[in-house]
């Protein structure tokens, strides 16, 4: 069984980051080790959330694992809290990376043209540097614009997305994938670029007119899980895009109308079906 380390916050209530990655990747048949960067009462879209930074735990936990000679098939980072933690990630990648370790960086920090409340441009710059150490990065358009100093646009064409991918590629990751890319009316999905083969990859599915927190984390977790189950990055992106869209559709049918996260608990059977 493959073993993934995922490093992100625990938002106790909110269905995002670790509370999505751990159940989803585990359910996909992959051992999931967690390293929490902070504990929050809720994700940061709630008002009045509490935060306990766990930066001082990262190095001792890492040292213990090194002593135990633990190895990871993939390291997947998501929402980190501070610049210091980004620096800690660079070191941790070096400590655990071997020729086969997949480094998957989701530079979670912004959406819909805006940075999340906790972050500033210094944080953006450090995240851009972290991308250099990654095999795959999966920013949304907002995060990519911040990291590459490109103007954020709500409506755009393929040339804009390709320019954004070219700029992302310069950050140094092997594969750059933009999420939330809409290349025609009523569609949304991903567009990726492989710096080694120089190939583009586009996948679009029907756009569901709703936005929920944690969908990026569901997408990334599904991708990592699928790659660990032997799918190529392109196959994994397609599975993850379909699975995220399907989960949003199911959530929209919930009469309780959840607002802070998607009903990913309801769509595991379909996810496992997609892995067959």
For ligand PXL, the binding residues (CB under 6 A) are 9, 11, 16-17, 40, 43-45, 79, 108, 116, 213-214, 216-217
Torsion of CA 82, 86, 91, 97, to 10 degrees: 130
- Tell me whether residue 152 or residue 260 sits nearer to ligand PXL (CB atom): 260
Sheet strands (E) in 78-149 = 102-105, 110-111, 114-115, 136-137
- Tell me whether residue 11 or residue 244 sits nearer to ligand PXL (CB atom): 11
- Tell me whether residue 218 or residue 236 sits nearer to ligand PXL (CB atom): 218
Q: How far is the CB of 11 from ligand PXL (least distance, A)?
A: 5
Instruction: Measure Cα distances from 159 to 119, 149, 154, 191, 217 in Å.
Output: 29, 16, 14, 12, 27
Q: How far is the CB of 106 from ligand PXL (least distance, A)?
A: 9
Q: How far is the CB of 69 from ligand PXL (least distance, A)?
A: 31
- Tell me whether residue 82 or residue 101 sits nearer to ligand PXL (CB atom): 82
Q: How far is the CB of 119 from ligand PXL (least distance, A)?
A: 10
Phi and psi (nearest 5°) for 99?
A: -60, -25
Q: How far is the CB of 84 from ligand PXL (least distance, A)?
A: 17
- Tell me whether residue 2 or residue 224 sits nearer to ligand PXL (CB atom): 224
Q: Following DSSP, what letter does each residue of 143-212 receive, concatenated?
A: HHHHHHT----SS--HHHHHHHHHHHHHH--SEEEEEEE--STTEEEEEEEETTT--EEEEEEEPPS---
Contact 176, 137 (CB under 8 A): yes
């Amino acid at each position: 069984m493959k073993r993934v380390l995922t490093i992100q916050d625990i938002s106790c209530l909110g269905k995002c980051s670790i509370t999505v990655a751990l159940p989803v990747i585990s359910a996909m048949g992959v051992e999931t080790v967690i390293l929490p960067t902070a504990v929050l009462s809720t994700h940061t879209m709630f008002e009045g959330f509490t935060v306990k930074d766990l930066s001082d735990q990262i190095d001792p936990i890492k040292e213990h694992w090194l002593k135990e000679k633990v190895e990871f098939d993939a390291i997947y980072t998501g929402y980190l809290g501070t610049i210091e933690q980004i620096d800690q990630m660079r070191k941790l990648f070096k400590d655990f990376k071997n020729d086969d370790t997949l480094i998957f960086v989701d530079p979670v920090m912004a959406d819909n043209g805006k940075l999340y409340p906790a972050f500033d441009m210094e944080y953006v710059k450090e995240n851009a540097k972290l991308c250099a150490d990654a095999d795959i990065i999966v920013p949304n358009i907002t995060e990519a614009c911040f990291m590459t100093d490109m103007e954020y646009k709500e409506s755009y064409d393929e040339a804009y997305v390709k320019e954004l991918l070219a700029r992302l590629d310069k950050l140094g990751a092997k594969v750059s994938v933009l999420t939330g890319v809409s290349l025609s009316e009523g569609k949304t999905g991903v567009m990726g670029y492989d710096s080694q083969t120089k190939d583009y990859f586009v996948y679009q599915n029907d756009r569901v007119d709703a936005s929920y927190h944690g969908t990026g984390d569901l997408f990334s977790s599904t991708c990592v899980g699928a790659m660990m189950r032997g799918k190529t990055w392109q196959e994994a992106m397609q599975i993850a895009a379909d699975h995220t869209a399907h989960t949003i559709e199911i959530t929209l049918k919930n009469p309780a109308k959840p607002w802070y996260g998607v009903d990913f608990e309801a769509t595991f059977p379909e996810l496992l079906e997609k892995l067959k």
